[in-house]
Amino acid sequence: MSPSYNHAAIAVNIGTVVNSSRKFRAFSELTLVIDGADYIPDISVYAWRKIDIGKDFKKMQELPLLVAEILFPSQPTEELTEKAEVYLNAGIRSVWIVQPFAHTVSVLTKEGMQLYHEGVLEDLTGLSVNLASIFDDETEI
């Protein structure tokens, strides 16, 4: 299996790219409390700020600006689409559904959905990400 199809590698790549901007901070597997229920997106992105790492903050009441869910091959896309609706209705501004096998990111917002296959993803939160850095695409076209 190629590293570009590895769920954990994709999550690490997204976190690395987001954190390197120093405008945003990415957290993996952080529990978000939405309407009394726990949701655990693969990546939660907040505006950059210093964090007290000595503090246990596995559950967050404050919602992130953006969440990313990475699709497993056996997982139905509808499952993540339903979660995206919950996130958007709760006030999260942008939801990414990352499809490693297709090298695609679907960005869902209140305004609709946009599909990215290559190039730079310009998110409404102000985050810009080159898709090649998410999927470890070494070859440039």
Instruction: Express each pLDDT in 26-46 by its tens digit.
Output: 999 999 999 999 999 999 999
| 141 pLDDT more than 80 | no
CATH number of 3-135: 3.90.1570.10
- Judge contact between 19 and 25, C-beta under 8 A: yes
How is the chain split into domains, by residue range? 3-135
Distance CA 11, CA 66 (A): 14
Q: Kindly report the number of other CB atoms within 10 A of residue 7's CB atom.
A: 15
Instruction: Express each pLDDT in 65-122 by its tens digit.
Output: 999 999 988 888 888 999 999 999 999 999 999 999 899 999 999 999 999 999 999 9
Whole-structure pTM value: 0.88
- Which residue type is seen at 62? E
Distance CA 5, CA 115 (A): 18
